[in-house]
Chain A
Amino acid sequence: GEDVEQSLFLSVREGDSSVINCTYTDSSSTYLYWYKQEPGAGLQLLTYIFSNMDMKQDQRLTVLLNKKDKHLSLRIADTQTGDSAIYFCAERGASNTGKLIFGQGTTLQVKP
C-alpha cells in the first residue's frame, strides 16, 4: 500500500544547511509536498513538486526528487532558529479520495 517514511529527528547549527529526507512507495504520485508544523500551529504548505520535475528551488528551500528511487529531499539553506519545527513529507497519489499520505514528520532542531 501507500507509505511515506522519514527520519524522526535532525539537529543542525544555525547558519548550516539542513537536509530532510523522505521515501515514498506510490509510484503514481503526481504531487509531492512538504509541510511545516510549528508547536501549537497548523500545517503550513512550504513547497511542492510535480512528479515530472527533478528539482524545485524557492528562496532558501530546494526540493530534490529522485523518481526512480522514490526519494524526496528538502534542503533548507542558512537554517535559522525560526526554522525549528516538524517537517512532513506527503504524497497525494491516484486515490480518488484526494487523501494525503503523510510521513511521520522530522523534528528539526536548530541550535544557536
Chain B
Amino acid sequence: EAQVTQNPRYLITVTGKKLTVTCSQNMNHEYMSWYRQDPGLGLRQIYYSMNVEVTDKGDVPEGYKVSRKEKRNFPLILESPSPNQTSLYFCASSFQVYNSPLHFGNGTRLTVT
C-alpha cells in the first residue's frame, strides 16, 4: 500500500532531550516536507526537501533539523526540544514539487514538558 509512515505516533519527552521523528514513504517521491499543526495557527511548513541531499527551510525552521540521505526517508530532528515545540507534526511527500498532490502521514503528537 502506498503510504507515508511516521513514527512514533505519540511522544512525551522533557526539555533538552534530543529526539528524532522518522518519516518514510514507499512511493518513490522526490519531494518531502514537514509541517506542524497548532490550534489557531493552522499548518505551517518546517522544512522541505526537493530530492536526496537537497533540503531547505520552510516558514518555521527554528529548533529543527532534517536530513535526506535516502530518497524514502526524511527524519525530523529536535536537538534540544522546548515546550513551544509541543505540537502535532506531519510528514508529507509528493512525486515532484509542482503539479502533484501532497500525501500526508498520520501525524506525531509531541509533548515537551
Q: Which residues of A contact B (CB under 8 A)?
A: 30-31, 33, 35, 41-45, 48, 88, 92, 94, 96-100, 102-105
Contact = CB atoms under 8 A, between A and B. Distances in A.
**SS class, residues of chain A in contact with chain B:** loop
Contacts of B33: 98-99
Contact of A99 (B48, B99, B107): B48
Interface string B92-113: 1010011111111111000000
Nearest to A47: B101
Contact of A98 (B94, B103, B107): B94
Interface residues of B, number: 25
A45 B103 contact: yes
B45 A31 contact: no
B43 interface: yes
Contacts, number: 58
A35 to B, nearest CB: 7
A33 B50 CA distance: 20
Contacts of B74: none
A31 B101 contact: yes
B98 A42 contact: no
Contact of A97 (B58, B90, B92): B58
B43 A100 contact: yes
